[in-house]
Amino acid sequence: MEGVLVARSYDNPQLSQTFDVTIVGAGFAGLYMLHRCNQRGLSAQIFEAGDGVGGTWYWNRYPGARCDIESLEYSYSFDEDLQQEWEWSERYAGQPEILRYVNHVADRFDLRPSIQFNTRVEKAAFDSATARWNIQTSNGAAVSQYLVMATGCLSSTNKPSFEGMDDFEGPIYHTGEWPHDGVDFSDQRVGVIGTGSSAVQSIPIIAKQAKQLTVFQRTPNYSIPAHNGPIDKALEAETKANYQAFRDANRRENGAFASRTPAGETSALDATEDEWREKFEHHWQLGSLAFLRAYPDLLLDDNANAIARQFVADKIAEVVTDPTTAQILTPTQVIGCKRLCLDTNYFETYNRDNVELVDISSAPIERFTPTGIVADGQEFEFDAIVTATGFDAMTGTILKIDIRGVNDVSLKEKWSSGPTTYLGLCIPGFPNLFTVTGPGSPSVLTNMIMSIEQHVEWIDECIDYMSHQGHQSIEATVDAEQEWVAHVNAVADFTLMPTCNSWYLGVNVPGKPRVFMPLIGFPPYVEKCNEVAANGYEGFALTSPADSSTR
Ligand code: NA7
Centroid of ligand 1 to alpha carbon of 198 (angstroms): 8
Atom of ligand 1 nearest to the CA of 60: 25
- Judged on CB neighbours under 10 Å (0-12, 13-18, 19+), 145 is buried
Residue 548: what pLDDT? 55
Residue 2: what pLDDT? 36
- The protein residue with its alpha carbon nearest to ligand 1, atom 18, reads 160
Ligand 1 neighbours by CB, cut-off 6 Å:
154, 160, 175, 193-199, 218-219, 339, 365, 388-391, 501, 503, 508
- The protein residue with its alpha carbon nearest to ligand 1, atom 28, reads 390
**Alpha helices of 287-331 — where are they, by DSSP H?**
302-319, 323-329
- The protein residue with its alpha carbon nearest to ligand 1, atom 33, reads 197
The sign of the torsion formed by the CA atoms of 421, 78, 444, 40 equals: negative
Centroid of ligand 1 to alpha carbon of 43 (angstroms): 39
What tens digit of pLDDT does each residue of 215-241 get? 999 999 999 999 999 999 999 999 999
What tens digit of pLDDT does each residue of 43-71 get? 999 999 999 999 999 999 999 999 999 99
Residue 12: what pLDDT? 43
Centroid of ligand 1 to alpha carbon of 399 (angstroms): 20
Centroid of ligand 1 to alpha carbon of 314 (angstroms): 23
Atom of ligand 1 nearest to the CA of 162: 18
Contact 166, 39 (CB under 8 A): no
- The protein residue with its alpha carbon nearest to ligand 1, atom 38, reads 508
- The protein residue with its alpha carbon nearest to ligand 1, atom 4, reads 196
- The protein residue with its alpha carbon nearest to ligand 1, atom 21, reads 194
Alpha carbon 140 to chain centroid distance?
28
- The protein residue with its alpha carbon nearest to ligand 1, atom 12, reads 194
Question: Going by C-beta distance under 8 Å and a sequence separation of 6 or more, which residues neighbour residue 190?
Answer: 206, 210, 212, 213, 214, 382, 383, 384, 385, 386
Say how far apart CA 20 and CA 2 lie, in whole Å.
7
Residue 16: what pLDDT? 74
Say how far apart CA 256 and CA 443 lie, in whole Å.
10
Closest to 139 (Cα-Cα) out of 153, 119, 117, 159:
119
Centroid of ligand 1 to alpha carbon of 373 (angstroms): 18
Pairing between strand 384-387 and 17-24? unpaired
Centroid of ligand 1 to alpha carbon of 357 (angstroms): 16
The pick from 389, 394, 448, 509 for probing ligand 1's pocket by mutation, whose C-beta has the most ligand atoms within 8 angstroms, reads: 389
- The protein residue with its alpha carbon nearest to ligand 1, atom 30, reads 197
Residue 15: what pLDDT? 52
List C-alpha distances in Å: 177 to 64, 198, 502. 14, 12, 21
- Which domains, and CATH codes, for the chain? 17-156+393-543 (3.50.50.60), 165-387 (no CATH)
Contact 55, 155 (CB under 8 A): yes
The pick from 198, 445, 517 for probing ligand 1's pocket by mutation, whose C-beta has the most ligand atoms within 8 angstroms, reads: 198
Centroid of ligand 1 to alpha carbon of 540 (angstroms): 37
Q: Hey, how many other C-beta atoms are within 10 angstroms of the C-beta on 232? A: 13
Centroid of ligand 1 to alpha carbon of 318 (angstroms): 25
Beta-sheet strand order (sheet of 365-369): 365-369, 372-375, 378-381
Centroid of ligand 1 to alpha carbon of 243 (angstroms): 35
What spatial distance separates the first Cα and last Cα of the chain, rounded to whole Å? Answer: 21
Region of 532 on the Ramachandran plot (φ > 0 left; ψ -120 to 50 alpha; else beta): alpha
- The protein residue with its alpha carbon nearest to ligand 1, atom 31, reads 197
Centroid of ligand 1 to alpha carbon of 413 (angstroms): 26
DSSP lists the bridge partners of residue 434 as 148
Contact 438, 411 (CB under 8 A): no
Q: Hey, how many other C-beta atoms are within 10 angstroms of the C-beta on 202? A: 23
The pick from 444, 508, 509, 514 for probing ligand 1's pocket by mutation, whose C-beta has the most ligand atoms within 8 angstroms, reads: 508
Residues of the chain predicted below pLDDT 50: 1-13, 549-551
Say how far apart CA 63 and CA 203 lie, in whole Å.
8
Q: How many CA atoms lie within 13 A of 331 on its CB side?
A: 27
Say how far apart CA 319 and CA 331 lie, in whole Å.
15
Centroid of ligand 1 to alpha carbon of 270 (angstroms): 34
Q: How many CA atoms lie within 13 A of 253 on its CB side?
A: 22
- The protein residue with its alpha carbon nearest to ligand 1, atom 36, reads 219
Residue 546: what pLDDT? 77
Centroid of ligand 1 to alpha carbon of 232 (angstroms): 32
Residue 547: what pLDDT? 76
